[in-house]
Amino acid sequence: MRRNQPLLKVENLRIEFPTRRGTLVAVDDISFHIDEGEILGVVGESGAGKSLTGSAIIGLLEPPGRIAAGKVLLEGQDIANLPYEQMRRIRGRHIGMVFQDPLTSLNPLYTVGRQLTETILTHSEMSAQDARQRAIELLSEVGIPSPKLRIDQYPHQFSGGMRQRVVIALALCVNPRLIIADEPTTALDVSIQAQIISLLKKLCREHGAAVMLITHDMGVIAETADRVAVMYAGRLAEVGPVQDVIKQAKHPYTHGLMGSIPKMGQDTERLEQIDGSMPRLTEIPSGCAFNPRCPKAFARCVAERPDLMQVDSSQVACWLFDQPMERTGSDG
């Protein structure tokens, strides 16, 4: 692996769902990367394609969903559309997963210790005794008190926040290079959210893993991510350093998302809102998919679909920033 190569590189990813009425495109030609030790936040409304992108990367797309085009390069190896068994080995050893509801990741019939040790034994050559010790260390590392006692308890004996910590421990069992965290704080109250965010940042820093953090919560992104990718209707609208995107959002959709967040120290009677809703997959408009909701849309937005273009430190898919076209227009 070259030093300058991203840990994860997604190139022109397209996810389709064949139906009787035709093929629906859920994720349409998106490209991004995540560097080692970096947290990339992926944000957008429900239906934007965030979770589908994560599922495609880890090889867990629900049929009939499929990767129709593009590459998913993990340390230079294309893992898109690998055979199931080969992908299962990569998923356990190189990619860890943290889902929104920890109860979907934990088996209620087994102790958390059994689930941790079985995962460790499956993907390493440790003895059972060493695997149990490693499991205890992991529980301690993710902040579970009295890990030697709690390792023999069942998931229902843990609170929601503690269950999510167990899931993070599961994801870390064999020191994965990449962690996909899909809405890991949504079901938790605010104080527990802050603890989980702090934990993810600490683990990323100490383990050198890359994290893809999928969420609809811009506040979580602001606290956690290094860079942010904003998705809308299966496309990337804006990608850039998190502070730049938060302070100077360029795409009108990102600007609307930022306007919906209350700001500390400011008295605001009414928050901004984005009129309308995300289009259904069967009704994605021509041109820029956001154009029916965009306060700055003009003729070209309806006729042509913009690709990401470099604007300062960010990439933005918006015709407002196509300077040559603006100059051409002024010449005419």
C-alpha span between 197 and 199 (Å, rounded): 5
Task: Provide the pLDDT for residue 263.
Answer: 62
C-alpha span between 128 and 193 (Å, rounded): 33
For residue range 180-208, list pLDDT tens digits in order: 999 988 878 888 888 888 888 887 888 88
302: pLDDT strictly greater than 60: yes
Dihedral angle sign, alpha carbons of residues 150, 156, 157, 160:
positive
Phi-psi region of 105 (alpha: psi -120 to 50; beta: other; left: phi over 0): alpha
For residue range 156-174, list pLDDT tens digits in order: 999 989 999 999 999 988 8
For residue range 250-278, list pLDDT tens digits in order: 999 999 988 766 665 666 666 677 888 99
User: Alpha carbon of 19 to those of 25, 53, 143, 279, 281: distances in Å?
Assistant: 11, 19, 46, 18, 12
For residue range 79-90, list pLDDT tens digits in order: 998 999 999 889
C-alpha span between 308 and 314 (Å, rounded): 9
Dihedral angle sign, alpha carbons of residues 235, 201, 167, 116:
positive
User: Alpha helix locations (H) across 58-127?
Assistant: 84-93, 102-105, 112-123
**Two tokens, residue 153:** 């308890």
CB contact at 8 A, 230 and 239: yes
Q: Enter the DSSP assignment of 70.
A: E
CB contact at 8 A, 230 and 254: yes
CB count in 10 Å sphere of residue 152: 12
DSSP notation for 241-255:
EHHHHHHS--SHHHH
Task: Provide the pLDDT for residue 156.
Answer: 95
The residue assigned the tokens 């397209």 is: 14
CA count, 13 A, side-chain hemisphere, 244: 17
Over residues 298-310, the mean pLDDT reads: 96
Q: Enter the DSSP assignment of 305.
A: P
Helix (H/G/I), strand (E/B), else coil: 74: strand
Task: Provide the pLDDT for residue 100.
Answer: 81
Nearest to 42 by CA among 5, 67, 70, 10: 10
User: Alpha carbon of 137 to those of 37, 134, 160, 161: distances in Å?
Assistant: 22, 5, 20, 18
